[in-house]
Structure 1
């Protein structure tokens, strides 16, 4: 037991120390789903989910306090996202507090750069707030370390069925649900219709995405256009970090490879460096070798500003600049089928309840309010992300069936999204894979890079005794 506890503490320190650099925080393009899209709009909000009253909790000085002798105060930590996200979150808290006399939210905003350090210190001290948020794949180390409680008993079947499958997958660890989010992220391709027409490239559909052969033939044809310098923008300007895992691991998975053996999460060797993964990354490397992708750090606006790129491989957060610059020439396309299946990325910030919380029922009422249809629509109207609930999708101008970004929602709702590895050692996975991608872009041997990465993951698993759950 002591060894298991020590492993959990060390694992938590590792994941939180890496999270700030791996996720990119809020100082980047926030490429996993929380960038600004202030011009996006949503339909009028629906009524929030009904919420039963909670019993008051004692004043514990940390997770739940009782300032008036009547109302339970639920403490909440929130990373400071974009201005639009901050405005929406503040409004959600104000709406809850003004509508309730039995429960009040005490929200603390923590800057993105300091967030992981503060959460880390509080977790180790047993002083976490009741409700807190975290980036998608980093929830699993919290759950494994027993710093979060499962929320299955509070989530009704009806509520669960209204969430995108990707949101449920993201929040589930070891068979139990630990978190829910307000939004997911959409990964696909934006294309310049005028360039595709000029090059004679077929416009793919959800039912008939590009094959690898079509995709590469299209890039070759687009490269011949005089307006195009590098036909494919892979957002290399985002830099080495979580974008490399979020954005490029779906290519591995489309070829039939993966980052780790998901059957038991006990090895990466033979999977990350297996023949399917090697073929995927050799193909990826060839796009640079063929002159289709700028190997330097390109300008962010090569697709929508200078328009020297014909296709941008990126997510929903670039909708506003792309649509404003290209207008009717903008196409939003599904991920290609590079091998055996079409795969898209997924995941973003989500909420959970800490094991320090003395009144988890009250905390869940807060969480339930934050992820209600009304609050999801408020948030996604500001940040342009994919609404996490089907009831919100139906009311979204961007993501309803006839909305311009419907393809992103369709990929998530119809099973094409693969979550990043659901296990406590994810921090090591993303660190070493991102390094391998950077080296592969620079021309390194693919097999050697992936084998080195797989060995590092295997060593981390061994060092943590396989991340036991007993």
Structure 2
């Protein structure tokens, strides 16, 4: 059923794009009077976020009558297949909202423009180099990273204080060993210290694995990607395994959940803490029972430091767009510091821009904003960001292997063997 709905959604979006496709008599995106028409496909889905994007489009159009931007609604659920269809059909939107971990195949396939000739010095300087690395494929820059989301711990304040555990701060987070001890303290009487919603376990494990000193993906002497499971790669995965299978401090039933699925149990006191993306704070505010007291804590840190991988949201330009310069000018407008703040607040995420990140409204203690902004310095490109073949490895090898490991069906040795040996066979097909 879900697959059928996804196919239907994809077809609907593609049809919408086709119907709103080329305007202008000469087929180059211009009206008869010379007005340039650009299509901006946004994936904003929360009302605050969609409203912010639409308002910024309206403001651009009011100030730039010679370059009109049309807002087109896309969907995170179907964006990859929809974009592939539109690229192959010659009907791609000019400006494309996506995530950096979805760009590699499109960039290497020649579907996304290299933005280097068009980016302003202001925008290049405002976004840190570590963020630009997430959209750099080969020599080209194929997207502008603009929103990012650290993973944080959402904790039941009453239960945490009653446990007597030290309250971690961004400057002094828990170690992974200490985190395990705290979750044991918080467990008992039908309650678990933590629930790990790991319906999609791979990105969570790899991104948090950086803090344990793990990397998993490496480059050999020829620059080819290879998988190696080293001691640091087992810190996070081993902690989760022990919490579920040895300590019984993590709920086994939550392993197959998404983040939203675990919220009712959190509100009901079944779980004392949840590791979630930063943007989940909005759902918590909307859904928490009256009087429920919660707090935002940093994720634990290990030998790798207080770091974690992220795949920022991005804005790209289609290679086939006849008006790349104008499309990038619109992106530059959209990502002016004040506008980037509006987009970040609309999505309850962090901006990549250093000037926007310094905005006082993003450094308030209310709703944990200050904790999030304090974590921004430790955000790094996701380990497999530019690895060709990663989607196949994730779907066919890593997801089932991690799911079986966390449930206790296989041990660490078999996990390592499957991730590395089966994984390297997958990667080799993409690197001949």
Does TM-score exceed 0.5, indicating one fold? yes
1:257 matched residue in structure 2: 214
Alpha-carbon distance between aligned partners in 1 of 2:243 and 2:26, rounded to the nearest angstrom: 57
1:296 matched residue in structure 2: 253
1:46 matched residue in structure 2: none
Alpha-carbon distance between aligned partners in 1 of 2:360 and 2:102, rounded to the nearest angstrom: 28
Within 5 Å, which residues of 2 pair with 1:427-446?
427-431=391-395, 432-443=397-408, 444-446=410-412
Q: Which runs of 5+ in 2 are unaligned?
A: 11-22
How far is the alpha carbon of 1:132 from its aligned partner? Answer: 1.1
User: Taking structure 1 as reference, are residues 302 and 229 closer, same or farther at Cα in structure 2, changes over 3 Å only?
Assistant: farther
2:165 aligns to what SS in structure 1?
coil
Within 5 Å, which residues of 2 pair with 1:330-409?
330-395=294-359, 397=361, 399-400=362-363, 402=365, 404-409=368-373
How far is the alpha carbon of 1:291 from its aligned partner? Answer: 0.8
Within 5 Å, which residues of 2 pair with 1:152-191?
152-164=116-128, 167-191=131-155
How far is the alpha carbon of 1:326 from its aligned partner? Answer: 8.2
How far is the alpha carbon of 1:352 from its aligned partner? Answer: 0.5
How far is the alpha carbon of 1:306 from its aligned partner? Answer: 0.3
1:75 aligns to what SS in structure 2?
strand
Alpha-carbon distance between aligned partners in 2 of 1:165 and 1:307, rounded to the nearest angstrom: 42
2:19 matched residue in structure 1: none
2:279 aligns to what SS in structure 1?
helix
Equivalent in 99, 107, 112 of residue 143 of structure 1: 107
2:240 matched residue in structure 1: 284
1:261 aligns to what SS in structure 2?
strand
Q: Is the 8 A contact 2:176 2:236 kept in 1?
A: no
Alpha-carbon distance between aligned partners in 1 of 2:92 and 2:280, rounded to the nearest angstrom: 34
1:459 matched residue in structure 2: 425
Within 5 Å, which residues of 2 pair with 1:118-267?
118-164=82-128, 167-224=131-188, 226=189, 229-236=191-198, 239=199, 241=200, 244-262=201-219, 266-267=224-225
**Highest RCO, 1 vs 2 (Cα 8 Å, sep ≥ 6):** 1
Q: Is the 8 A contact 2:41 2:73 kept in 1?
A: yes
How far is the alpha carbon of 1:327 from its aligned partner? Answer: 6.4
Within 5 Å, which residues of 2 pair with 1:12-23?
none
How far is the alpha carbon of 1:141 from its aligned partner? Answer: 1.7
Length-normalised TM-score, structure 2: 0.83
Within 5 Å, which residues of 2 pair with 1:30-109?
61=27, 64-79=28-43, 81-109=45-73
Q: Is the 8 A contact 1:204 1:210 kept in 2?
A: yes
How far is the alpha carbon of 1:388 from its aligned partner? Answer: 2.8
User: Taking structure 1 as reference, are residues 213 and 387 closer, same or farther at Cα in structure 2, changes over 3 Å only?
Assistant: same
Alpha-carbon distance between aligned partners in 2 of 1:99 and 1:365, rounded to the nearest angstrom: 13
Q: Is the 8 A contact 2:44 2:53 kept in 1?
A: no
Q: 1:11-54 CA distances to partner (integer Å, 9 max, x unpaired)?
A: xxxxxx9xx89xxx9xxxxxxxxxxxxxxxxxxxxxxxxxxxxx
How far is the alpha carbon of 1:175 from its aligned partner? Answer: 4.3
Q: 1:91-139 CA distances to partner (integer Å, 9 max, x unpaired)?
A: 2222211211221113332344443333112222444232112222111
Alpha-carbon distance between aligned partners in 2 of 1:91 and 1:342, rounded to the nearest angstrom: 36
Alpha-carbon distance between aligned partners in 2 of 1:337 and 1:83, rounded to the nearest angstrom: 34
2:267 aligns to what SS in structure 1?
coil
Alpha-carbon distance between aligned partners in 1 of 2:35 and 2:74, rounded to the nearest angstrom: 25
How far is the alpha carbon of 1:165 from its aligned partner? Answer: 5.0
Length-normalised TM-score, structure 1: 0.77
Alpha-carbon distance between aligned partners in 2 of 1:112 and 1:282, rounded to the nearest angstrom: 31
1:54 matched residue in structure 2: none
2:253 aligns to what SS in structure 1?
coil
How far is the alpha carbon of 1:265 from its aligned partner? Answer: 6.2
Q: Which runs of 5+ in 1 are unaligned?
A: 1-16, 26-56
How far is the alpha carbon of 1:400 from its aligned partner? Answer: 1.9
Matched, 1:448 2:414: yes
Alpha-carbon distance between aligned partners in 2 of 1:327 and 1:346, rounded to the nearest angstrom: 33
How far is the alpha carbon of 1:181 from its aligned partner? Answer: 3.7
User: Taking structure 1 as reference, are residues 77 and 230 closer, same or farther at Cα in structure 2, changes over 3 Å only?
Assistant: same
How far is the alpha carbon of 1:60 from its aligned partner? Answer: 5.9
Q: Is the 8 A contact 1:268 1:455 kept in 2?
A: no
How many corresponding residue pairs? 401
Q: Is the 8 A contact 1:229 1:308 kept in 2?
A: yes
